[in-house]
Structure 1
Amino acid sequence: MKIGLRNFIEHKWFSRVILSVILINAVLIGMATNETVYQSYESTFVFLDILILSIFTIEIILKLILYRKYFFKDGWNVFDFIIVFGSLVLYNTHLVGVLRILRVLRVLRTISIVPSLKRLTSALFLAIPAIGSVTVLMGIIFYVYAIIGTSFFGEVAPEYFGDVGLSALTLFQVFTLESWASGVFRPVFAEMAWSWLYFVSFIIVSTFIILNLIVGEIVNNAQQLSEHAKEESEDMQKLMRDMDELKQMIREQNHHNKNKTG
């Protein structure tokens, strides 16, 4: 029974069905934000929400029966359990706001179903320590450039470089490349022609170099996880082949013993 349940839960069609339900749930959540549509088909929305929650609940129960205590050793399983269990507990309570948040978070279950998304998200979490170091480096760069900007452009453009705080906020706008040329650079450049060195150097250092460090760390972790998953898959395939060979040997031995007995 347990083997049959494992084959059912770990079958690719089971994952595809759950993924389809998650995507349908996402579409329904988006449609429900339209007050006119929701009021016109409120009973349908409520019925489908209960049906989807029931499917998720059955999925979690089946996994709990199969994996038992090992179910909670996977962070993604814990995430799924909190969302589904929380939705069940809060369904008929006055905490409507929390329930709505949990409904929206159901969409994030797509990550736990699709292996490639799980690897990418895991790579992002693994990169957090490196991102923290890069963030500190970026903070130092922002602080240095904010002081330089305040010192040289404070009188020319006080609305942008009046003090260190304003300068840091202005540099953040420049960092995002949002209207920095027309909004910040050109008024300063009209007064001080050499200011392009300040802005161009900051963009090169902060936007291009620092962001590439972060992206590179995430890509590196994603590649390592992909290689690890590939190795695990190859090991599993080898194990399955060995088991098939062992079964074949046992069948041949049994057949030989029967012929010998006969």
Structure 2
Amino acid sequence: MNYTKLQAAFFRLRNNRAFELFVVAIILFSALVIGAKTYDIPADVLTLIGWMDTAITLFFLLEVSVRFIGEPEKKRFFLNAWNTFDTLIVVISLIPVEDSEMALIGRLIRIFRVLRMVSIIPELRLLLNSLIKALPQLGYVILLMFIIFYIYAAVGASFFGVINEVLWGDISIAMLTLFRVMTFEDWTDVMYETMEVYPFSWIFYLSFIFLTTFAFLNMVIGIVVSVMEGEHAQEAREQALTDGTPTIESLHLEIRELKELIKAKL
């Protein structure tokens, strides 16, 4: 078998759904092996787990090699960030560091192998890419939320510091207390304590909750959903171009060209 046939065979294998599901199963098994190492288990079982971990690493090396050889354009393989991530994780996992000072780093790298699930499953890639692309817009929401936090923390430290210094002693502690209020972690206990001195302090807490938990959370969800819809639409357009299916934009362009041709003939 020459290289061209081998590349074609690996290309079909890497795009095979059964092969992708098998890789996902191995990734899940790898996660279970990593979790098993955290328990107090006998030495012989630990040795068996070590051999299984080595076998999993070798399988991942074979899987990355299949994907690389099956890639028609080798230069584009590492232009994909997920391919680079997978390759780095697999290569670093091959370095024997268990009995060295780098053992902790080696274990951390093996834990990150679970993230390869994202690179294998397209839906997870789409979700993560949407979250990353939404970060610039989310940054402004987070900045505005920080401003609200800072204002309420300053007010809380000024009025409630004498009531409970542990919760409202300074502005940094007050911001942590407000985070507790925003996440509904026993926030009523905090409110009732201040209401004994300031009966209308409930307005402070309720207004803060409405601004942060309800308003800002909905803004974050709206931004992420909007970006995900854009990603889905772009993926659909790319898939249509790949399959040769006409898109709405291409149909509009063809209609416009036909109108221009008709006008030119008239």
Q: Distance in 2 between matches of 1:107 and 1:100?
A: 12
Equivalent of 2:80 in 68, 74, 82: 74
Determine which of 26, 30, 33 is the counterpart of 1:25. Answer: 30
1:87 match = 93
SS in 1 for 2:51: helix
Q: Does 1:158 align with 2:165?
A: yes
Instruction: Give 1:106 shift.
Output: 0.6
Q: How many residues align?
A: 237
Deviations 1:5-61 (A, max 9, x none): 211111112211111110111111112211225x24123212211111111001112
2: distance between equivalents of 1:46 and 1:17? 21
Give distance in 1, aligned partners of 2:85 and 2:47. 29
Identify unmatched segments of 5+ residues in structure 1: 240-262
Match of 2:19 among 7, 14, 28: 14
Indicate which of 159, 162, 182 corresponds to 1:175. Answer: 182
Contact 2:145-2:216 within 8 A present in 1 as well: yes
**Structure 1 residues 200 and 13 mapped into 2: Cα distance closer, same or farther (>3 Å)?**
same
1:104 aligns with 2:108: no
> Does 214-223 or 226-235 show the bigger shift?
226-235
1:174-193 Cα shifts (integer Å, max 9, x gaps): 122111112x1111112211
Per the TM alignment, residue 91 of structure 1 is displaced from its structure 2 partner at its CA by 4.8
Percent of matched pairs sharing the same residue: 32
| Rounded Cα–Cα distance in structure 2 between residues aligned with 1:116 and 1:158 | 48
- Give the C-alpha shift of residue 101 in structure 1: 0.5
Structure 2 CA distance for partners of 1:32 and 1:159, relative to 1, 3 Å? closer
The CA distance in 2 between the partners of 1:48 and 1:166, in whole Å, is 47
Q: Which of 22, 42, 48 does residue 44 from structure 1 map onto?
A: 48
> Which structure shows the bigger proportion of residues in helix conformation?
1
What amino acid is the match of 1:226? Answer: H
Q: Which runs of 5+ in 2 are unaligned?
A: 246-266
Q: Distance in 2 between matches of 1:144 and 1:64?
A: 54
The residue aligned with 1:251 is none
**Match of 1:227?**
233
Structure 1 equivalent of residue 62 of structure 2: 58
Aligned residue in 2 for 1:242: none
CA distance in 2, matches of 1:77, 1:91: 24
Change (3 A) 1:42 1:202: same
Q: Any idea what the Cα deviations from partners look like across 1:235-259, whole Å, max 9, x if unmatched?
A: 33337xxxxxxxxxxxxxxxxxxxx
Structure 1 stretches of at least 4 aligned residues deviating more than 4 Å after TM superposition: none
| AA in 2 matched with 1:26 | A
Does residue 35 (structure 1) correspond to residue 36 (structure 2)? The answer is: no
Partner of 2:253: none
Give secondary structure in 1 for the equivalent of 2:162. coil
Kept in 1, the 8 Å contact 2:8–2:70? The answer is: no
- Aligned AA (1:16): L
Instruction: Indicate whether 1:119 and 2:136 are aligned.
Output: no
Displacement of 1:93: 5.7
Cα root mean square deviation, aligned? 1.7
Deviates more, 1:101-110 or 1:169-178: 169-178
Distance 2:161 2:46 in 1: 58
What TM-score results when the alignment is normalised by the length of structure 2? 0.84
Which of 219, 244, 266 matches 1:238? 244
How far apart are the structure 1 equivalents of 2:58 and 2:97? 12
Say whether the 8 Å CA contact 2:98–2:106 is kept in structure 1.
Answer: no
Larger mean Cα displacement after TM superposition, 88-97 or 68-77:
88-97
